Structure 1
Amino acid sequence: RFSKHTKWLKIHKYQKFYSFFLYGLLTINWAITTDFIQSYQYLKRKLSYGKFPKPATQWTKLIVSKIIYYSIWIALPLFLGFVWWHVLIGFFIMHYTAGIILSVVFQLAHVMPNTEMPTPDKNGNMKNTWAIHQLFTTSNFAPKSWFVGFFTGGLNHQVEHHLYSNISHIHYKKIAKIVKETAAEFSLPYNEYNTFWKAIAEHYNQLKALGQKPSLA
C-alpha cells in the first residue's frame, strides 16, 4: 500500500517487512505480464506517444520483441548446452537484481513521508500546474553523492529528472541549486534526503505508516 488513497487490507500491516523482498520481482513481472497488460490498457484507452498505432501493429511488435528477448536469454543458452535450471536461476537472479535496484530508486523518489499523491477533482482536474505537481510528488536522495548519481544515472535527482528529463543528468546537480532556490522563493516544497540510508529509513517509516489501519475519523 503506497498511497493513503489505496484500500487498506490486513496484509498491509506487515508490508514494512515483506515489501523490500517483493521489490525484486518488478522487472520479471514486466517481462512476463505487465507489458501485455499495459499494452491492452493503452490501446483500450487510446493512449499513445504521437500517432496512435494500429492495434495489430502494436501487438505484433510486442510479441516479436518478446520472442527475440526469450530467445536470447533462455533459448540460446539452452541451445549452447547450459543446464536448464542454471539458465532459469541466472535469468531470475538477473531480473531480481534489476528489480531491487529499480524499485528502490523509484520508491525513494516517490513513496516518502514528504511526498504527496494528489488525486483529481470531480471534473478530472489536478489542483496544481504540471511543474508544481512535480515538486509535491517527487523527492531527491543522496544529492551530493557522486557514486549514487553515477550508479542511478542521475535518478537520485528525481525532482530535476521530472522537470528537465530532456537534459542530461550530468547537469542535474547544478540545476538543482536553481530549482531549490526558486521553490523557496515561491514557498513551494523541495523534498530531499541527504543520504541514501536516510532515505531508506524514511521509506521504511512510510511503509509502516501506510500499513496501519486508517482511522474512521
Structure 2
Amino acid sequence: MADRRLKGNEVVLEGYVYDLDAFSKVHPGGADALRVFGGSDATTHYYMLHPHKEIRVKALEPFRLRKAEAPVHDLCCERVMPDTIEQKGSGSAHGDLVFKLNTPAFQDLKSRVQKAIPYQFATSEWYVKACLIMILNVSMEYLIVRDGPSLLKASVLGLSMALIGLCIQHDANHGAVSKSGWVNRFWGYTQDWIGGSSLLWRHHHVLMHHADTNVNGDDPDITGDLIRFNKLTNWKGHHKWQALYTWFLLPLLPFRWHFSEIFDLINMKHLDRSISPMAQTDARIALFLRQMPFFFMLRFYALPLYFYPSFFTLFCHFVCLAVGGSYLGFNFVISHNFEGARSVLDSTDRSKHEKRDWSFDQVETSSTVGGRVLGYLHGGLNYQIEHHLFPRISHVHYHKLAPVVRQWCLDHGLKYTYYPTVFHNVLSTYRYLNA
C-alpha cells in the first residue's frame, strides 16, 4: 500500500484521518487546545483529556477525510506507525508502541470519578490562589526595579515563578481551569510571563510526556545521556554519580527555557520533534512575548541590569532562577523516578512487544506523596498518579480524587505507590537513580 504522510492540518483518531483545522473552528474547548496535535495520532490524548467513554463519532463525522493508511507517517515525530492501526477499545498507534485504550477498567474509573467530582474545573479557591501568586510575582519584580536587587527579593521572585509554573499555567495549559478555551489560554500565557513558552510546554508535556510516560525513546522527560532515568537507556560511566549530581542540575533548568527554546520556536522543532504547523501563530506570539519591550527578556533581565549594573545584580538573577528551577525540577524528578517505577519498553525489539492498558501504566509509572496541604503548594503535582490519569481535572480536586483512584487500583490489583512525606519520596528517588 502506498505510504502517506499526515498533513499538518490532519489528525488520526481510532484509525481515521480527520480535518483538524475545520474541526478546531467548532471545538467546544476552543481551537487553541487542538493546534499542537496537528499531523499526529491523537487517539491516546482524546481519551486522556475527555470524560467520554467513546469517541463522539457523530460530531466528528463531517470532518472525516479517510481511513488511515498503513504505514502512516506521523508528521510531527518523523516515526512510522505500526502496520496495524488498532481500533476503538483495543489500542492506538503511538510511535511504535501500542497501548490498550478506553478499556472497561478505565471506563469504570471514569464513572467513579464523575460521581465523586461532578465539576472538574477550577473553583474560587484556584482563582484566589492564582491572583495572589501573580500579585506576589509582579510586586517582587517592581521592588527589584524600584529599590534594587537583594538575595531575599530574588529568592521570593524565584519561588513565585515556580508557583506560577506549578499552580497556574500547569492547569491552564492542560485545559483544566475552565470549559472556555479563552480562559485556559489567558492563564496559560503565565508560562510565557515567567520566560517559558505555553506552546512548547503543551508540545512537551501534553503531546509527548503524558501520552508516553516512562516509555523508553518516546517520553522526553527520560531521554538524554546526562541522567539515566530509565533502566532501558544505555549506561555510561558518569551515571554512577547521578544520584548525587542530578539534584545540582535542577537550578540550571530555567536557563534552557529562557534561551534555547527561542531557537525551538524559530525552527518550529522541539525535542527533535517537529511542532505542528497549525501552531505557527502560537509560536509568533510566544516570540513576541519574550522579545518585545516590557515583556520577559527586557522586563526580567534588561531593566534590573540597566538601573543596577553590577555582578551582584547578575548573581541575584542566578539565585532567582536557581530557586525557581530547583523547586520546579524537584517536583518533576521525584514524580516518576522512584523504587519500583515501571520502565515501559518501546517496541524496537518486536519480540518483547506487549500491549498494556494505558491507564494501568499511568499508575505504575507515577507516585503520590503527602496530601492536601502539600498539594496546595505544589499545584497538586504531589498527586502525580491522579494527575496522569486525569490531567484535565483541576488540581484543587485531587484530594477528593485520590481515594477514588486508590480504591480502583485495589480493585484491579494495581500497585499504588504512595509516600507519606517528601523525605520518603526523595530517599526512594535517590535509591532509584543510584540503582
Residue 175 of structure 2 corresponds to residue 175 of structure 1: no
Task: Give 1:153 deviation, angstroms.
Answer: 1.3
Tell me if the contact between 2:363 and 2:415 (Cα under 8 Å) persists in the aligned partners: yes
Aligned to 1:189: 415
Query: 1:198 & 1:99 partners in 2: Cα distance?
Result: 21
**Over aligned residues, Cα RMSD in angstroms?**
2.4
Aligned to 1:214: none
Residue 302 of structure 2 corresponds to residue 78 of structure 1: no
Task: Give 1:3 deviation, angstroms.
Answer: 1.1
* Farther-moved stretch of structure 1 (105-114 vs 28-37): 28-37
Query: 2:331 & 2:272 partners in 1: Cα distance?
Result: 30
Q: Determine which structure has the larger strand proportion and give its number.
A: 2
Tell me if the contact between 2:335 and 2:384 (Cα under 8 Å) persists in the aligned partners: yes
**1:23–1:78 CA distance, 2 compared to 1 (3 A):** closer
Task: Could you tell me which runs of 5 or more consecutive residues in structure 1 were left unpaired when the two chains were aligned.
Answer: 210-217
1:135-187 deviation digits (Å, cap 9, x = unpaired) = 12111112x361x2221011101111112222222221121111011111111
Aligned to 1:29: 256
**1:35–1:13 CA distance, 2 compared to 1 (3 A):** farther
Out of 363, 375, 378, the residue aligned to residue 152 of structure 1 is: 378
Tell me if the contact between 1:153 and 1:169 (Cα under 8 Å) persists in the aligned partners: yes
Task: Give 1:86 deviation, angstroms.
Answer: 2.7
Letter in 2 for 1:173: H
Tell me if the contact between 1:74 and 1:87 (Cα under 8 Å) persists in the aligned partners: no
Residue 289 of structure 2 corresponds to residue 65 of structure 1: yes
Aligned to 2:239: 12
State the TM-score, normalizing by the size of structure 1.
Answer: 0.82
Tell me if the contact between 1:117 and 1:137 (Cα under 8 Å) persists in the aligned partners: yes
Tell me if the contact between 2:334 and 2:426 (Cα under 8 Å) persists in the aligned partners: yes
Task: Give 1:104 deviation, angstroms.
Answer: 1.1
Query: 1:201 & 1:44 partners in 2: Cα distance?
Result: 32
Letter in 1 for 2:358: W
What count of residue pairs does the alignment treat as equivalent? 201
Residue 355 of structure 2 corresponds to residue 127 of structure 1: yes
Out of 125, 134, 137, the residue aligned to residue 365 of structure 2 is: 137
Residue 320 of structure 2 corresponds to residue 94 of structure 1: yes
Residue 315 of structure 2 corresponds to residue 110 of structure 1: no
Aligned to 2:97: none
Query: Quick one: percent identity of the two aligned structures?
Result: 29
Task: Give 1:117 deviation, angstroms.
Answer: 2.4
* Farther-moved stretch of structure 1 (164-173 vs 190-199): 164-173
State the TM-score, normalizing by the size of structure 2.
Answer: 0.43
Task: Give 1:33 deviation, angstroms.
Answer: 1.4
Query: 2:314 & 2:248 partners in 1: Cα distance?
Result: 19
- Corresponding residue SS for 1:73: helix
Query: 2:272 & 2:243 partners in 1: Cα distance?
Result: 35
Tell me if the contact between 1:120 and 1:126 (Cα under 8 Å) persists in the aligned partners: no
Task: Give 1:59 deviation, angstroms.
Answer: 4.8
Task: Give 1:35 deviation, angstroms.
Answer: 5.4
- Corresponding residue SS for 2:319: helix
Higher Cα Rg, which structure:
2
Q: Determine which structure has the larger helix proportion and give its number.
A: 1
